[in-house]
Structure 1
Amino acid sequence: MMFNKLIQAIYYDRSKTRPIRWLLAVSICLLLVIFSPQPAFATVTQIEETPGQMLYQSRQNLRDRTGKSWQVVAFKRVHPDGSEMVSLRLVGFLGAVELDHTQPLTLTTSMGQTLTAKDVTNEISQGTTALANVGEYDIQPVLPQLQSKISLQLTLPMLTGSAVELQIPSTAIQEWQTIADR
């Protein structure tokens, strides 16, 4: 009996239902925004640089904790002789950052696992002076240890002694592993 009166009050007294409907609509919209899947940041591209030499890459544009923009490029170069290397190139805004190329890149998973990747910037630049805002790291040894569904934090050492932190979404890690498997 009481339930019927409640139903009648909801259906017949519109002044009470409008706030409830509005609140329900806003709640549904918020839930859809919060729990919708993250869009893919990039796609894996394949380029034949020279006959028999392939380059596979994935690019993301991310911001560090201070809001500075970074380009994050994972790539695998396969040479005609079959040798290959998987690298991660990090490019910050020129003049805004100076990477310390004597230190490794630190990778920390959201589960607390810490790994390091060797800085190979000077090896890659082949005698030319490396730009202070560009770092290249050998990530081939650490990729198999990363879980593709867990996000990652990169810690880049700076010449000032401080560090820059970049949050890497799990979708990027999945792309990096796709590149390494090609």
Structure 2
Amino acid sequence: MRIKIPKNYSVIASNINLLRTWVMKFISFFNDSKIRLMRWMLAAWICVLLIVCIPLPAFSAVTQIEEYPGQMLYQSRQKLQDQNGNSWQAIAFKRIHPEGSSTVSLRVVGFPGAVEFYRTQPLILTTSMGETLTAKDISSEISKGTPTPANVAEYDIKSVLPQLQAEIPVQLTLPVVTGSAIELQIPSTAIQEWQTISAH
């Protein structure tokens, strides 16, 4: 029995071969793209791991200012949040006077109009180990002759800092006129900066 081959067989075969070639190229391209995509994803994942897992060098936030000849000011600033999610600024500083005397203070600043400090009460510092220390309010010394804003308080922490362990976080309890006392969590890195300032 003879099979009859159509006259346009060579054209059909040619089209089939061309189609097969295009399909193979498409599959090859897809596979290459998939591999490229996988490589990019792997590289991105490695970068994320490097950023998250490898600690970056610590850069000190301690600044040094010569207020005027012979008087130096060292300070460290932290932005903190209280238990209600409100933002605060804590500024620890040491001022060295020309005659050699020095003061080490912590100034705490809340949002204007949102808080009023209870001036006669001390700042309470509680370590995560349960130890409690107090720092005297010296807000009246911020600016002589000018009333200190209600949302600003300053405390003498010179005698308190040597009693803190740099690796143990501290909670500050701020006395306020109305409502519950404000609680701020101070990370160990901030304690280290404050102690660095005090050591100058």
Q: 2:180: which partner in 1?
A: 162
1:153 partnered with 2:167? no
Could you tell me whether the CA contact under 8 Å between 1:157 and 1:163 is conserved in 2? yes
Q: Distance in 1 between matches of 2:101 and 2:180?
A: 36
Partner of residue 143, structure 2: 125
Q: Tell me how far apart the structure 2 counterparts of residues 38 and 163 of structure 1 sit (CA, whole Å).
A: 36
Q: TM-score, normalised by structure 1?
A: 0.78
- Contact 1:40 / 1:171 at 8 angstroms: preserved in 2? no
Q: Which amino acid aligns with 1:145?
A: Q
- Give me the whole-angstrom Cα distance separating, in 2, the residues matched to 1:176 and 1:120: 18
**RMSD over aligned Cα, in angstroms?**
2.4
Q: 1:131 to 1:62 in 2, by over 3 A?
A: same
Structure 1 or 2, whichever has the larger Rg, is 2
Which deviations, in whole Å up to 9, do the C-alpha atoms of 1:124-145 show, x marking residues without a partner?
3323211110000000010000
Secondary structure at the aligned position of 1:46 is classed as: strand
Which of these residues, 51, 74, 88, is aligned with residue 106 of structure 2?
A: 88
Q: Distance in 1 between matches of 2:123 and 2:153?
A: 9
Query: Higher strand share goes to which structure?
Result: 1
Q: Which residue of 2 aligns with 1:135?
A: 153
What amino acid does structure 1 have at the position aligned with 2:131? Q
Alignment of 1:1-182 (within 5 A): 43-160=61-178, 162-182=180-200
Distance 1:145 1:178 in 2: 14
Normalising by structure 2, we get a TM-score of 0.71
* CA distance in structure 1 between the partners assigned to 2:88 and 2:135 by the alignment: 18
Percent identity, aligned pairs only? 70
Q: Quick one: structure 1 residues 35 and 159, their matched pair in 2 at CA, closer, same or farther if it must change by over 3 Å?
A: farther
Structure 1, unaligned stretches of length 5 or more?
A: 1-30
- How far the C-alpha of 1:46 sits from its partner, in A, is 0.4
